[in-house]
Amino acid sequence: MDFKDWMVMNLGQAHRYVNRFEHWDILFGYIIWNIWLHRNSIVFNSPLTDCRSILERSRQLTDSFVRAWVMRPVYQSVQPQVRSESRSWQPPLPGWLKMNSDGARSLVSGHSMCGGVIRSLGGDWRLGFTKFIGICLTLGAEVRGIYLGLLFAWNLGGHQVVVEVDSLEALKAVRLAKDGRNSHTILNHIRELLQLNWVVKFQHVASEGNKVADRIAKLATAGNSDAIIFHKPPDEALTLLQLESSISS
């Protein structure tokens, strides 16, 4: 059997291994991908900071994929109750905070991160945050960004908050959490936050209107599991902040 046939057999005939490895085709694909990532990290002198083995990372990604796939029919049947999509960032109304968040994933390392920004009337900066997550799917990073943004908005004393993201899938996941139809830990935490004494509205924004959150998410430091807080706008986001202010004014 040549190499190509061997690859096709492992990726397309999972039933051969069902008694030993559940979802072998998916796991095999992730193993090959992680080997490729590891090789690239050596070639380009950017060693992976993740100390877990290739097999451990591959199993975690397989578990995440399978959970997402199982929930896919439910997600498709749920339409998030959000306002119509905005093409650009707009400041919140008086008395409201607006929290924009985003998730990002490196194609080179496979690492994910999330981040966001909380602003008040006039686009005034209240707080920014970024967090390195590690190996996970992009949707997981998006949802974690929403959770952290809600947590920080509550800690700021916000009583009326607009949550704005550019991922419809993340909004569907939150809708399921609100309805008690998802048992994922982060979504449970989001549901608990939404049950507090405040008003939270969700809306979708085009990626053009979420560039500040996207930029801040990518400032996460690999290997640092703690969230980084920005009480003032970081230099890397100043140009985008000025651009959004000029468009919304």
Q: How far apart are CA 151 and CA 149, in angstroms?
A: 5
| Most confidently predicted of 48-62, 103-117, 160-174 | 160-174
**Letter for the amino acid at 92?**
P
| Under 8 Å between Cβ of 181 and 206 | no
Q: What is the average pLDDT across 156-162?
A: 95
Residue 23's contacts (CB-CB under 8 Å, 6 or more residues apart) are 14, 62, 66
Query: Measuring CA to CA, which residue among 86, 105, 112 is closest to residue 201?
Result: 86
Q: What percent of the chain has pLDDT over 70?
A: 80
Strand partners, 99: 118, 163
Q: What is the average pLDDT across 197-217?
A: 95
- Locate the domains of the chain by residue range: 3-77, 83-248
96-146 pLDDT, tens digit per residue, is 999 999 999 887 777 899 999 999 998 999 999 999 998 888 888 999 999
| Under 8 Å between Cβ of 102 and 129 | no
| Under 8 Å between Cβ of 130 and 227 | yes
3-state secondary structure 28-70: HHHHHHHHHHHHHHHHCCCCCCCCCCHHHHHHHHHHHHHHHHH
- pTM greater than 0.75: no
CATH class of 83-248: alpha beta
| Under 8 Å between Cβ of 219 and 131 | no
